[in-house]
Structure 1
């Protein structure tokens, strides 16, 4: 990378960094004010601050494509406003070489996004969500209702967990077992489940059996739970699909399909993560083409407005493709790729038209 390319990359990256501080700062401020409304029991002011800190990588990961596009738009716009683009092109630097220099800076953001999505976000988000739930429950997690918590299905059993700790310990485990004719056979409630010595153990269990219009209740202090659910899969139960690592999404999709369950949302999240570097590149291309094309001589505020609208449109199109893939039977990889392809084509056509 020569001196001019380094200069262009530095201008674009400094614009990205400034925007990241502003947008993340505003998001954290308003989210923190909302978070204070959840303070109760052991979850207090300091815990809310720690929760915001631990969820910051996830927020940055979600904003990264939008920030990359607006950063390119603002950075190249600064060069245009200072007539530096005119000088660069008069010196013989082509439009595509300028695009190449910006893409080198965007590559760093792609790498940051990949590392955040794979290594940082799954760990920090799981810790934040479970720590908050434990402290808000104030040691009474086993009494929480069925409106909250997590559901899991295996064979003829539907299982509800009131709370899942990062260590793999389960609280408030309710198992609903059905017969072949879909009649309820039994309900089993355990205050806690723990994975030790390669198997699950249930503690303080109350088993209720239903047969011949009668119920039979049995108290069991401790028992073995024969289930194929592994502790490694618990994090994917706690977190939303978009917050999981690609490896976890792949494993969970395979597991759900083996259980005869719908795994489309996890497949879609997997491919979105896989294509995020391409999405960043496509949005950066649109940001550059705006400056060389229709937004070359407008004010910075106007560029920011169009950049935000374009980024939000891309996000809404991504969100729309999820239900559309289910309704129209579109493959998950294609549904996740389509918004990126459309952005790349639009950016390329605008750039080519600008010359």
Structure 2
């Protein structure tokens, strides 16, 4: 138990240190761009701190895999240099068990990555966007461009939306039949979500098309039944919002979407595969633990592990982009790189372990 805690503590502290350093660097670079704007708006140091706090979930998502790679390389190389690995193997502890002792650290990063990507960041991003919008000086505010998206079989154009996604302004709904022919157009000043999967349209002006005829009618309010939800609206009107597993699934089930189906299918798979990237990074760093630093093998494996980890991130990103565009199956686009690089890491470790 003491030996396991020693290995786990060594790996975990190195991963934590790498994550803090990387997050600090990204945070500083981010604040260099916005600090002057925040101070000019009279928000002071509290505003800078508020901005930095809301950015933390996304920053952790970005640095988590690299932190595990860097932390694993530093920790295993230290254990190898101190001959701790030699001593453990001489006492009957296999290399597999040594790596297994470090796995809980990677699992903790995986769980925290899921928490940030699926829970914290989707809540922090709209709050940050709304805060930034409301604190922008009136003279500098720009009228947002209308958004066009699909809500089931309906095509929708909207001028804007509230921060909580429960109100949409300047709504135009184009309804089509099964053949894709336009049969109805509804223009409303506002759409309000009233729960139960239905929206209320204020002051709707409905135009129905039947062949060459068009009939127009007005009303005070009308109900718009759709699978669209406030969370979908937040994502559609957010700036470069990354779909969560829940929002991607809703988009595939006729919820709000403004991108191809392949984009949401890929991100649905990525929501499950993403956390395993940290585990692959730990496996890529593991061969360093069995290296002989006296013969120069350690430096070679250390460099190879770092290069393999970076190449893995590049390959994973390229395959994901192919999946989003529909050029590759979403399943292959998301799971191919982790499976291939994980297998290569295990094969290398097995060869060194003998």
Fold similarity call, TM over 0.5: yes
Partner of 1:107: 107
Partner of 2:70: 70
Assess, with a 3 A threshold, how the Cα gap between structure 1 residues 267 and 30 changes in structure 2: closer, same or farther: same
Contact in 1 for aligned 2:164/2:230 (Cα 8 Å)? no
Question: 1-side partners of 2:78 and 2:54: how far apart?
Answer: 34
Partner of 2:245: 246
Assess, with a 3 A threshold, how the Cα gap between structure 1 residues 311 and 130 changes in structure 2: closer, same or farther: farther
TM-score (norm 1): 0.79
- In the alignment, does 2:145 pair up with 1:145? yes
Q: Which of 170, 175, 192 does residue 168 from structure 2 map onto?
A: 170
Contact in 2 for aligned 1:246/1:270 (Cα 8 Å)? yes
Contact in 1 for aligned 2:170/2:187 (Cα 8 Å)? no
Assess, with a 3 A threshold, how the Cα gap between structure 1 residues 115 and 203 changes in structure 2: closer, same or farther: same
The offset of 1:321, in angstroms, is 1.2
Contact in 2 for aligned 1:186/1:207 (Cα 8 Å)? yes
Partner of 2:320: 322
Partner of 2:79: 79
Aligned length: 348
Question: 2-side partners of 1:168 and 1:267: how far apart?
Answer: 25
Alignment of 1:129-278 (within 5 A): 129-136=129-136, 138=138, 143-146=143-146, 151-166=149-164, 168-175=166-173, 188=187, 190=189, 192-196=190-194, 199-202=198-201, 223-224=221-222, 226-228=224-226, 229-239=228-238, 243-255=242-254, 262-278=260-276
Question: 1-side partners of 2:299 and 2:205: how far apart?
Answer: 63
Contact in 1 for aligned 2:277/2:338 (Cα 8 Å)? yes
The offset of 1:331, in angstroms, is 2.7
Question: 2-side partners of 1:3 and 1:120: how far apart?
Answer: 35
Partner of 2:57: 57
User: Residue deviations 1:290-319, cap 9 Å, x none?
Assistant: 443487876999987655543332222122
- In the alignment, does 2:58 pair up with 1:22? no
The offset of 1:75, in angstroms, is 0.9
Assess, with a 3 A threshold, how the Cα gap between structure 1 residues 308 and 206 changes in structure 2: closer, same or farther: farther
Contact in 2 for aligned 1:141/1:172 (Cα 8 Å)? no
Secondary structure of the corresponding residue to residue 166 of structure 1: coil
Assess, with a 3 A threshold, how the Cα gap between structure 1 residues 140 and 162 changes in structure 2: closer, same or farther: farther
- In the alignment, does 2:61 pair up with 1:98? no
Range that drifts further, 289-298 or 127-136: 289-298
Question: 2-side partners of 1:25 and 1:305: how far apart?
Answer: 24
Runs of 5+ in structure 1 lacking a partner?
211-215
The offset of 1:79, in angstroms, is 1.2
Question: 1-side partners of 2:205 and 2:41: how far apart?
Answer: 29
Secondary structure of the corresponding residue to residue 222 of structure 2: strand
User: Residue deviations 1:86-143, cap 9 Å, x none?
Assistant: 2222222221111111113222222222233332222222322333234338599894
Secondary structure of the corresponding residue to residue 11 of structure 1: helix
Range that drifts further, 33-42 or 299-308: 299-308
Partner of 1:118: 118
Secondary structure of the corresponding residue to residue 274 of structure 2: helix
Secondary structure of the corresponding residue to residue 170 of structure 1: strand
Partner of 1:282: 280
Partner of 1:213: none
Contact in 1 for aligned 2:176/2:184 (Cα 8 Å)? yes
Question: 1-side partners of 2:115 and 2:308: how far apart?
Answer: 25
Secondary structure of the corresponding residue to residue 255 of structure 1: coil
Runs of 5+ in structure 2 lacking a partner?
210-214
TM-score (norm 2): 0.79
User: Residue deviations 1:155-187, cap 9 Å, x none?
Assistant: 353323423412522345455678988789868
Contact in 2 for aligned 1:201/1:222 (Cα 8 Å)? no
Provide the aligned C-alpha RMSD in A.
4.3
